[in-house]
Amino acid sequence: MTRKDQVAAAFSAATTTYEAAARAQAISADHLAAMVAALPRPPQTRVLEFGCGTGLLTRRLLPLIAGDWLITDLSAAMLESARQLAPRSRFQVMDAEAPELAGQRFDLIVSNLAAQWFSDLGAAINRLTALLAPGGHLVFSTLGAQSFRQWREAHQSLGLPCGIPDFPSRAALQNILPAARIDEQLFTLAYENGRAFAAELKRIGAGTPAPGHRPLKVADMRTVLQRLGQPAAITYDVLHVVIGPR
Ligand SMILES: C[S@@+](CC[C@H](N)C(=O)[O-])C[C@H]1O[C@@H](n2cnc3c(N)ncnc32)[C@H](O)[C@@H]1O
């Protein structure tokens, strides 16, 4: 099984538990939807959404944007759960890093918190940008370097490897995507303890570890959880990106 298959399987398995657990994704979707609403667009907009999940962003944008929607996700089960939101739209299982969209162009490409799963963020975003029609916008959010800072620090302070992948800082993302306008959103969520945080990641399907990471021994994980303390505060650092004309 490739890592991408693992990511898709983990999200597919989380379809029914996702919405109740996706607190951070909902906060980010609100922010991103407000940014999209402020952009100019033609009356009949051609929209591509990638990594739709159960449709947290889709349902915020559908009432705002009339047009032709193509809604996509790597996970067939996630896509299926979003289908009921917009029965008249087109749906496609698609790896957004390798879009199969022969000759199609879009006025708006949107995505909330899916791009952090890309294996090469810069190359993928450049390929997606090439799908924009003249005057079009690509608007997406992804996780930034400070996300899960307390979880990483608990591992580091014990000399243990952390399974959460590294994410780019705002400055690093700006280097990767020089034409992007980036808005950083920082917030903290409270958890009963570290175990509750790890369980929430699993319930949203985000449990696939960084490439090459080997799970910690049970005793080591217990020490990490103790180091994190309870209640546990966990930082989310969301980078909201706009590419396209002002
Ligand atoms: C954290 S969820 C976010 C879902 C939704 N956008 C939301 O705001 O709730 C991440 C989604 O990205 C999808 N995903 C991960 N890698 C992807 C890829 N390479 N191409 C398309 N979708 C991907 C997953 O299947 C999952 O549905």
Query: Which tens digits make up the pLDDT trace of 189-200?
Result: 999 999 999 999
Check residue 68 and give its pLDDT. 97
pLDDT, tens digit, 9 for 90 and up, residues 129-170: 999 999 999 999 999 999 999 999 999 999 999 999 999 999
pLDDT, tens digit, 9 for 90 and up, residues 45-97: 999 999 999 999 999 999 999 999 999 999 999 999 999 999 899 999 999 99
Strand partners, 191: 232
d(CA 42, CA 110): 15
Give residues with Cβ within 8 angstroms of 212, minimum separation 6.
none
Domain made up of 3-243: CATH architecture:
3-Layer(aba) Sandwich (3.40)
Check residue 102 and give its pLDDT. 87
Q: Is 109 in the pocket of ligand 1 (CB under 6 A)?
A: no
**Of ligand 1's atoms, which has the minimum distance to the CA of residue 22?**
9
Check residue 174 and give its pLDDT. 98
Q: Is 74 in the pocket of ligand 1 (CB under 6 A)?
A: yes
Joined together, the tokens standing for residue 165 give 């992948």
Would you say residue 237 has pLDDT above 90? yes
Q: Is 48 in the pocket of ligand 1 (CB under 6 A)?
A: no
Give residues with Cβ within 8 angstroms of 226, minimum separation 6.
none
pLDDT, tens digit, 9 for 90 and up, residues 202-231: 999 999 999 999 999 999 999 999 999 999
SS3 string of the chain?
CCHHHHHHHHHHHCCCCHHHHCHHHHHHHHHHHHHHHCCCCCCCEEEEECCCCCCHHHHHHCCCCCEEEEEEECCHHHHHHHHCCCCCCEEEECCCCCCCCCCCCEEEEEECCCHHHCCCHHHHHHHHHCCEEEEEEEEEEEECCCCCHHHHHHHHHCCCCCCCCCCCCHHHHHHHCCCCEEEEEEEEEEECCHHHHHHHHHHCCCCCCCCCCCCCCHHHHHHHHHHHCCCEEEEEEEEEEEECCC
d(CA 85, CA 214): 38
**Of ligand 1's atoms, which has the minimum distance to the CA of residue 8?**
25
Joined together, the tokens standing for residue 157 give 């302070």
Check residue 236 and give its pLDDT. 98
Kindly give the distance from the C-alpha atom of residue 133 to the centroid of ligand 1, in angstroms, as a whole number: 23
User: Which residue lies with its CA nearest to atom 22 of ligand 1?
Assistant: 51
CA distances from 105 to 87, 108, 131, 157 (A): 22, 9, 5, 48
Nearest 5°: the CA angle 166, 169, 174 is 125
Backbone angles phi, psi at 70, to 5 degrees: -115, 115
